[in-house]
């Protein structure tokens, strides 16, 4: 039966509830990986970076957008894996599951091309400390842009858009997921904040045209608007590939401040997140409680239509 539209039920509340996270302070690792054409090498390489970060005390690992394959419409169908089938049908997520279990860490598994029936998606899998798949986010907003002479890309040539926002409770807090172009849509971040997210994670591969202008700006905007942490992770730059990634993986704090960032080479950034800072910032600057719901409202359509939504 169609849900009847009741804006008052879906309206984003004026004061945002922040759930108590299982841990307040922990280390996050952003693995800015180089990506090659050999998928087996990419999987082994990612595993090594994850294990090295875990050895350094990281409890949450974030990987880049499309880390097991080159970022191109020609590659997506070739490298795509059937995540739901698992096992040999998805060696990339099998590795993520095994390493999250063996190291007892949470992994936001960047993204890989996913095959489901006759469709392809750009999908991010989240694994808990027991190796279980906690959530799968399919990129909601496909990257279809045309800046003449600079950057033209049409993900919709091969990919299908996901249909749902993804927010997930993990052992390191409540995390809202977006993939790359999803970061441009502030309503998605606002919905996550309204559902009590502590952290937004965006695996992303901006490019040499939009990266310098927008990448950091958008992360800081999402963090400052929502007063929470924002983490991004890009592939390292490969000047010889058809799509050249901007790099610059970054962690931003709830005041919109850059806590750690890098250039474009392969590296792993490790930084501390302290969720107690979120409440402090919201007390200093209480605009979440000062919204004019009588003048404008944000509607959480997913929440309205789903019985189990947070």
Ligand X SMILES: NC(=O)CC(=O)C(=O)O
Pick the closest to residue 61 from 99, 109, 104, 112 (CA basis). Answer: 109
139 has catalytic annotation:
yes
* Contact string (CB under 6 A) for ligand X, positions 190-219, x = contact: ---------------xxx--x---------
CB of 122 to ligand X, least distance (A): 8
Sequence-distant (≥ 6) Cβ neighbours of residue 33 within 8 angstroms: 42, 45, 46, 49, 63, 64, 67, 235, 236, 266
Strand-pair category, 106-108 with 119-127: antiparallel
CB of 196 to ligand X, least distance (A): 26
Q: Which of 31, 125, 180, 226 is catalytic?
A: 180
Nearer to ligand X by Cβ, of 95 and 233: the residue is 233
CA 138 to chain centre: 10
Name the burial class of residue 294, with classes exposed (0-12), middle (13-18) and buried (19+) by CB atoms within 10 angstroms of its CB. exposed
Q: Which of 27, 39, 65, 114 is catalytic?
A: 65
* Contact string (CB under 6 A) for ligand X, positions 245-284, x = contact: ----------------------------------------
Nearer to ligand X by Cβ, of 118 and 146: the residue is 146
CA 61 to chain centre: 11
* Contact string (CB under 6 A) for ligand X, positions 169-188, x = contact: -----------xx--x----
180 has catalytic annotation:
yes
216 has catalytic annotation:
no
Q: Among 143, 192, 202, 229, which residue sits at the site for ligand X (rule: CB under 6 A)?
A: 143
CA 38 to chain centre: 24
Sequence-distant (≥ 6) Cβ neighbours of residue 15 within 8 angstroms: 288, 289
CB of 242 to ligand X, least distance (A): 13
**CA–CA separation, 134 vs 149, rounded Å?**
41
Which residues here bind ligand X, judged by CB under 6 A?
A: 143, 180-181, 184, 205-207, 210
């Amino acid at each position: 039966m169609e849900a009847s539209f009741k804006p008052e039920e879906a309206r984003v509340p004026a004061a945002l509830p922040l759930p108590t996270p299982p841990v307040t302070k922990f280390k996050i690792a952003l693995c800015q990986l180089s990506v090659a054409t050999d998928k087996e090498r990419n999987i082994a390489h990612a595993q090594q970076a994850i294990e090295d970060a875990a050895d350094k005390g990281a409890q949450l690992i974030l990987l880049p957008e499309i880390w097991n394959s080159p970022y191109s419409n020609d590659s997506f169908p070739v490298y795509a894996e059937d995540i739901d089938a698992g096992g040999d049908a998805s060696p990339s997520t099998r590795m993520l599951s095994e390493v999250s279990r063996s190291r007892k860490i949470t992994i936001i598994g960047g993204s890989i091309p996913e095959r489901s029936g006759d469709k392809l998606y750009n999908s991010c899998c989240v694994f808990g400390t027991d190796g279980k798949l906690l959530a799968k986010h399919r990129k909601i907003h496909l990257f279809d842009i045309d800046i003449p002479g600079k950057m033209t890309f049409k993900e919709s040539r091969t990919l299908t858009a996901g249909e749902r926002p993804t927010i997930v409770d993990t052992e390191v807090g409540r995390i809202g997921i977006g993939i790359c172009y999803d970061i441009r849509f502030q309503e998605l971040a606002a919905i996550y904040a309204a559902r009590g997210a502590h952290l937004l994670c965006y695996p992303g591969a901006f490019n040499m045209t939009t990266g310098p202008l927008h990448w950091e700006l958008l992360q800081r905007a999402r963090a400052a608007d929502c007063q929470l942490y924002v983490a991004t992770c890009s592939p390292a730059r490969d000047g010889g590939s058809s799509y050249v990634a901007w790099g610059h993986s970054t962690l931003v704090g709830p005041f919109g401040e850059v806590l750690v960032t890098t250039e474009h080479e392969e590296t792993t950034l490790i930084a501390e997140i302290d969720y107690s800072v979120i409440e402090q910032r919201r007390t200093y600057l209480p605009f979440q409680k000062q919204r004019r719901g009588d003048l404008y409202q944000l509607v959480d359509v997913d929440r309205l239509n789903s019985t189990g939504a947070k």
